[in-house]
Amino acid sequence: MSDDEKNRANAITHPGFSSRPSARQKEITMVRPVAQRLTGRLEMCGILGLLLHNASVDAAPEISEGLSLLQHRGQDACGIVTCGPKGRFFQCKANGMVRDVLDEKAIAKLIGGMGVGHVRYPTAGSSDHAEAQPFYVNSPYGIVFAHNGNLIDSPSLLQYMDATAHRHINTSSDSELLLNLFADNLQKTGKFRINEDDIFTAIGGLMRQCTGAYACVAMLAGFGIIAFRDPNGIRPVGMASRRTNTGRDYLFASESIVADALGFSEWEDVKPGEAVIITRSGVSKKRVAAHATFAPDIFEYVYFARPDSVLDGISVYRSRMAMGDALAVEVERVLKERGITVDVVIPVPDTSRVAALNLAQKLKLPYREALIKNRYVGRTFIMPGQQMRRKNVRRKLNAMALEFSGKNVLLVDDSIVRGTTSEEIIQMAKDVGAKKVIIASCAPPIRHSNVYGIDMPSRTELVAYGRNTEEIAEAIGADLVVFQTLPDLITSVRQFNPSISTFDCSVFTGEYVTGGVNEEYLHRLESLRADNVKNKVAVNSREGQSEGNRVNGFHTRVNLAASGGPVNGADDTVGLHNTWNIS
């Protein structure tokens, strides 16, 4: 056996981490609230995995750069775990933006030629620091895991973890649950050293157990990086490669823009139900799940993805151009019916710009950038707290009176969710002298929850819930609202890849492709998502810092007979040492 093979064997069986619980863990066992045990936490995220052929070059700088390109997918927390010599993992993660958490000092401590990165926005439950990803388990073999999506069968899976697998889930995150399901399936091999076939078998077992949406990137100590996607392909993930002097580097990412910016080529989407394993010896791919309806989430194209990305063979930019063309036809029809004329088309920055320009050109109307954005304020749609969203709209945008005063204005937005942003912008337009404000949405009315990993408020918080178009206009203060039709939206996206026959349009239709979503599930999910619940958990978390009987905001009990088994959590006191903010 060569030295490299010995190191690899030692890394897999002895990752180099202590599994001994800290003093704090010996004294306290956390009891999670029932609501959080019943429904896992949705993750609206960006994921990334990188393997450099030259193991002596650190991967962290490029992973950090890649995460900054995925920052639009989550601004609450970020993290990187790398794998260095002898399979040792190095971690830095915390709440905050990529530029703040992963500074030069932090990146310098992340050693190793392969790693996994993650950006996250909290979409249900708390936004606890312990839920920043990637997650880690030391048994078996040492696994690091990052995930984008949501499981809808968390209650039964948690029961399985407790009663059968005997694995402790330390947070309310579905990502940690998925990691431990993967680890449990790998454990069943009972092998000293595993191979690609064992990993494929484990992922296949996981997919038979889980229902929901998940795009995942994992790293096995001293072995390689892994990516897989749920059988319906709801959440995106793809791979690319880059030739170097010593061999090929490989990348997994949520969006193709990461590959473009980092100099990778041959972008290829991971197929639904497929797993891909990459080591320095090569690439292995296998479909590990039964065939199911391929249904990528259409809201990725409407709002979430960057316009310069290509997802499942569809250019996000081209699809938004087509949305603008189709919306122009609907706007023209409605305006003619109402006898209203429009003087100028103004986009609500940034996502709607592409569609608004095409709409203006098709209607032969002036296009003006009259809402000026402060680029140092985050996206209001993914800001926690309704009050904070309202306050940030006016901080984020300024209406130029020059283009609004005395005019009938057509505002174009990608979608109308809560209506908070739309209402504030319409009022801003009227404050600077607009005669009439018409708003056109590139998406149909959103009346249902997204359960597959994009944050939507509870149904009662959606402005379109229980309202027709006229009532929506009244609620947000518009003179008229025009929505894209669902058939036109689907055609706008599908025309660029006709092989995709179905999209997940559940936020518009309430039809969930995976099944298993009933009223009871939606009520549980909404109870976690409600802004007042999020704020309450955040307050409890802060109080827990000064209360001896709380940890992370949850009531605790003394446990005198602490477990000495493997620790599977994500907090600073659990699992890997976190180098964030350590000088």
Could you tell me if 484 and 323 are in contact, meaning their C-beta atoms sit under 8 angstroms apart?
Answer: yes
Residue 243 makes CB contacts below 8 A (sequence gap 6+) with none
Q: Quick check: helix, strand or coil at residue 197?
A: helix
Buried b (16+ CB within 10 A) or exposed e, 508-535: beeebbbeebeeebbebbbebbbbebbe
Tokens of 468: 């027709």
Q: In this structure, how many other beta carbons lie within 10 angstroms of the beta carbon of residue 106?
A: 20
Which position among 45, 78, 83, 92 bears the catalytic label? 45
Residue 307 region by backbone torsions, left for phi larger than 0, else alpha for psi between -120 and 50, else beta: alpha
Longest pairwise C-alpha distance within the chain: 82
d(CA 142, CA 132) in angstroms, rounded, equals 18
Of how many residues is the chain composed? 583
Tokens of 189: 């091999």
Could you tell me if 533 and 527 are in contact, meaning their C-beta atoms sit under 8 angstroms apart?
Answer: yes
Q: In this structure, how many other beta carbons lie within 10 angstroms of the beta carbon of residue 286?
A: 17
Give strand pairing partners of 558.
28
CA distances from 427 to 250, 414, 431, 576 (A): 49, 18, 6, 50
- What type of residue is 302? V
Could you tell me if 234 and 241 are in contact, meaning their C-beta atoms sit under 8 angstroms apart?
Answer: no
Could you tell me if 510 and 447 are in contact, meaning their C-beta atoms sit under 8 angstroms apart?
Answer: yes
Q: Is 505 part of the annotated catalytic residue set?
A: no
Q: Quick check: helix, strand or coil at residue 224?
A: strand
Q: Supply the residues annotated as catalytic.
A: 45
